[in-house]
Amino acid sequence: MRIATWNVNSVKARLGNVTEWLDSAKPDVVLFQEIKCETAAFPLQAFQDLGYHCAVVGQKAYNGVALLSREEPTDIITRLPGEPEDEQARYVEATVGGIRIASLYLPNGNPVGTEKYPYKLRWMDRLKAHASSLLASEVPFVLGGDYNVIPEARDVYDPAAWVTDALFRPETRAKFREITHLGLVEAFRAVHPTAERAYSFWDYQAGAWPRDMGLRIDHFLLSPQAADRLVGCAIDKGPRGQEKASDHTPVVLELAA
């Protein structure tokens, strides 16, 4: 099974790029973040024409996630448990091929001195609690998406410049480690333990893409049962170099049958 995650930064604005990549890469499951449209406005037909079933959680102009799969997803949930009043469209989870798979868009958290940062940390606590409950079920699962977390200094082009940013603050990284220390495997690092300058995001500003001033913030966390099937995990930089590109590029996970 090949599972891709991609923050598309507006699915309608990038529809040609996205469908072209899907037609070429042919993942079995694809996880989108920042679709930036309401559920009813999602371009469903374009993806159905490529053979995908779609589970979509949209929101007008902001956020929004989707899970697309060749096999029809079942047991879909559209909210991360733990904060019923949270109406932001950031999470969708379903069963595909016997695996629980989630597409998540973890809050950015900036500016740090506002409510946005405590919200990010609470969201991470909720994710940890949900991952714990999934682990207790012993069902294989994959939590993929835009985590807005730079795990280590080697995952950012200039660590010193990002030390006070919500993506790289010590509290953020500590929360991320709390989640992985439950027993989850961060797929890219498991496959590429010594990789340097392996990024999944390059800002539109300051020539970040041509200068390779990137961040690695798009991740797959795997349960032990899913990690036992881990074959590969790679960043496909090709889409970031296209016209009208998203500022993120796909990350592709491969699991054995």
Q: What is the pLDDT of residues 163-182, one digit of tens each?
A: 999 999 999 999 999 999 99
Region 190-197: mean pLDDT is 97
Domain range summary for the chain, segments of one domain joined by +: 2-255
Catalytic residue among 53, 91, 146, 219: 146
Residue 219 annotated as binding site: no
pTM: 0.98
**Among 204, 235, 232, 231, residue whose Cα is nearest residue 218:** 235
The full 3-state SS of the chain, as one line of letters, equals CEEEEEECCCCCCCHHHHHHHHHHHCCCEEEEECCCCCHHHCCHHHHHCCCCEEEEECCCCCCCEEEEECCCCEEEECCCCCCCCCCCCCEEEEEECCEEEEEEECCCCCCCCCCHHHHHHHHHHHHHHHHHHHHHHCCCEEEEEECCCCCCHHHECCHHHHCCCCCCCHHHHHHHHHHHCCCCEEHHHHHCCCCCCCCCEECCCCCCCCCCCEECCEEEEECHHHHCCEEEEEECCHHHHCCCCCCECCEEEEECC
pLDDT digits (tens, 9 = 90+) for 1-56: 999 999 999 999 999 999 999 999 999 999 999 999 999 999 999 999 999 999 99
Annotated ligand binding at 7? The verdict is yes
Q: Which of 95, 182, 181, 106 is nearest to 142 (CA)?
A: 95
Ligand-binding annotation for 212, yes or no, is: no
Whether the predicted pLDDT of 196 surpasses 90: yes
Q: How far apart are CA 82 and CA 33, in angstroms?
A: 20
155 is catalytic: no
pLDDT greater than 90 at residue 206: no
Q: Is 146 annotated as a binding residue?
A: yes
User: Residue 58, class by beta-carbon neighbours within 10 Å (0-12 exposed, 13-18 middle, 19+ buried)?
Assistant: buried
Residue 247 marked in a binding site: yes
**9 marked ligand binding residue:** no
CA distance 73 to 1: 14
Q: One of 52, 105, 117, 199 is an active-site residue; which one? A: 105
* Burial of 27 per CB tally in 10 Å (0-12, 13-18, 19+): buried
Q: Cα(109)–Cα(101) distance, rounded to whole angstroms?
A: 24
Phi, psi (5° rounding) for residue 94?
Answer: -155, 170
Q: Is 146 a catalytic residue?
A: yes
pLDDT for 245: 98
Per CATH, the homologous superfamily of domain 2-255 is Endonuclease/exonuclease/phosphatase (3.60.10.10)
Report, as an integer, the average pLDDT of 200-227. Answer: 97
Is 181 designated active site?
A: no
* pLDDT at site 179: 98
What are 91-109's pLDDT values in tens digits?
A: 999 999 999 999 999 999 9
